[in-house]
């Protein structure tokens, strides 16, 4: 299979990382290193930290950056690109191809005047979120290591630098296709699409017709995005900045910036303080996912046929894929959270009634669904603003469960496997960040361990399952990183 580096310019350009002074590896993901089958001399050797800091080159590979565009808050930006992220390796693993990328490795030609660095605060959040989402079963980029440095970096306040080594089958985004569609040539766009199909959608290569194969590929990309957003919604996860340049062509959660797991349920919750109009609010995420897929289809229409009219017809047909895939996926997941074995008529009403009650009572999203799978969900009634309405809902849910023959004990077990006890709440992350900035990584390491088993509630982990104290204002996060 052809690597991205082998495609050469204009798909990627060589860029040397900027050395990071006095690097210290704070976290190393041993399980992921084993999964990747990294040679021990690379992972645990004397030069491993230098390698993961960007101070030494990966064997037989030159670091590279890519150009991409994107719609940011609905407006097209012609050139964004890897301003501070460098691809340092492409490797083959038993699970397929993997790319290793350093985030915060210094400025590239796409840095647009920025310093090319990432700070410890945002790097810790990225590491924690990547591994927490993976443990929850959500498609995501992964984090292999976190390297810190005393190098001063100025943001809203003076901070210090860090580098995260991210891992994914590919870091290509919707924005890469927008860039080559608008700033490149049709031939370049076709080369990129065919590369992605060959390397990451090889099951489609049996389709002989090139145009049909590309249409099937786009359909699958859209379905993956729809399923991803459905997972976000049913976990109460808010991405915060779902621009097209933050949408993975593989349907992975990508770029953890001002994200947050919602605590008190509010359908219009906004986790990014920079999103003053609520474009990326919790309730808006499904529609934004569809809007972003529409932009990808527009960028790729020329790939669907040489005849423009035929290509337009195929593109129009693809516009309906997202809604069908999302509706199917989100209902399956909501029903699974209630321990139901199948989706039936009336289930959407049952789910929306519960969400309405949760919003009225300002109920904690994660705790509510976890408690429903407990021995006696009725003890939750006082958490709701209208306990009597919750009692009525609880009765309807129980009758719905009985109608499909669910065994009560088995149903509760299914729910405990579906509804996490622990998610990465912002105050948990901030506590670990504050300690790490003082030089104490014990809280960070403890949090990493707990997040690796989100469905396994243990008495010793009770504090990680609690929402932020009621008297504490919600922690606001922004795009600053």
Catalytic site positions? 245
Measured CA to CA, the distance from residue 417 to residue 276 in angstroms comes to 36
* Residues in Cβ contact with 2 at an 8 Å cutoff, skipping those fewer than 6 apart: 195, 198, 199
**Which of 413, 318, 393, 292 is CA-nearest to residue 351?**
393
Cβ 159 vs Cβ 153: under 8 Å: yes
How many residues would you count in the chain?
A: 481
- In our burial notation (b when 16+ CB lie closer than 10 A, e otherwise), range 261-280 reads bbbbbeeebbbbebbeeebb
Cβ 332 vs Cβ 240: under 8 Å: no
Cβ 11 vs Cβ 66: under 8 Å: yes
Measured CA to CA, the distance from residue 356 to residue 77 in angstroms comes to 38
Cβ 418 vs Cβ 337: under 8 Å: yes
Q: E-assigned strands of 193-310?
A: 237-238, 260-261
Peptide bond into 10 cis (omega under 30): yes
Rg (CA), the chain: 23
Measured CA to CA, the distance from residue 329 to residue 324 in angstroms comes to 9
Cβ 56 vs Cβ 50: under 8 Å: yes
Measured CA to CA, the distance from residue 211 to residue 214 in angstroms comes to 5
Measured CA to CA, the distance from residue 394 to residue 399 in angstroms comes to 9
Give the CA angle between residues 82, 83, 86 to the nearest 5°.
55
């Amino acid at each position: 299979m052809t690597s991205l580096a082998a495609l050469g310019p204009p798909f990627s350009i060589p860029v040397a990382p900027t050395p990071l002074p006095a690097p210290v590896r704070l976290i190393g993901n041993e399980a992921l290193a084993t999964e990747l089958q990294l040679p021990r001399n690379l992972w645990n050797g004397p030069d491993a930290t230098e390698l993961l800091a960007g101070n030494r080159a990966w064997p037989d590979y030159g670091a590279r950056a890519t150009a991409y565009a994107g719609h940011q808050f609905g407006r097209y930006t012609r050139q964004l690109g890897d301003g501070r992220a460098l691809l340092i390796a492409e490797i083959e693993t038993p699970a397929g191809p993997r790319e290793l990328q350093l985030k915060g490795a210094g400025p590239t030609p796409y840095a647009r005047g920025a310093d090319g660095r990432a700070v410890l605060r945002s790097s810790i959040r990225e590491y924690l979120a990547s591994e927490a989402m993976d443990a929850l079963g959500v498609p995501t980029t992964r984090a292999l290591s976190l390297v810190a440095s005393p190098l001063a970096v100025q943001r809203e306040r003076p901070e210090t630098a860090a580098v995260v080594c991210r891992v994914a089958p590919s870091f290509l985004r919707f924005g890469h296709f927008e860039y080559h569609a608008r700033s490149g040539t049709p031939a370049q766009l076709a080369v990129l699409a065919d590369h992605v199909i060959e390397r990451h959608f090889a099951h489609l290569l049996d389709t002989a017709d090139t145009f049909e194969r590309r249409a099937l590929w786009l359909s699958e990309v859209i379905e993956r995005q729809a399923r991803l957003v459905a997972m976000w919604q049913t976990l109460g996860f808010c991405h915060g900045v779902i621009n097209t340049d933050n949408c993975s062509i593989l349907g992975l959660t990508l770029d953890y910036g001002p994200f947050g797991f919602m605590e008190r349920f509010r359908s219009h919750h906004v986790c990014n303080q920079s999103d003053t109009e609520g474009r990326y609010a919790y309730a808006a995420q499904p529609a934004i996912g569809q809007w972003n897929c529409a932009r990808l289809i527009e960028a790729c229409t020329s790939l669907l046929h040489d005849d423009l009219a035929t290509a337009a017809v195929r593109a129009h047909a693809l516009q309906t894929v997202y809604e069908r895939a999302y509706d199917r996926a989100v209902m399956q997941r909501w029903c699974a959270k209630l321990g139901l074995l199948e989706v039936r008529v009336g289930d959407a009403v049952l789910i929306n009634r519960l969400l309405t009650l949760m919003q009225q009572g300002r109920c904690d999203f994660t705790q509510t669904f976890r408690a429903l799978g407990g021995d006696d969900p009725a003890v939750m009634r006082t958490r709701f603003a209208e306990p009597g309405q919750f009692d009525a809902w609880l009765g309807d849910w129980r009758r719905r469960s009985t109608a499909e023959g669910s065994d009560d004990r088995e149903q509760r077990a299914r729910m405990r496997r579906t509804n996490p006890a622990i998610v990465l709440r912002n105050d948990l992350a901030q506590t670990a960040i504050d300690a790490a900035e003082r030089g104490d990584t014990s809280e960070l390491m403890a949090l990493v361990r707990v997040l690796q088993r989100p469905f396994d509630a243990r008495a010793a982990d009770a504090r990680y399952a609690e929402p932020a104290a009621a008297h504490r204002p919600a922690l606001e996060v922004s795009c600053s990183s």
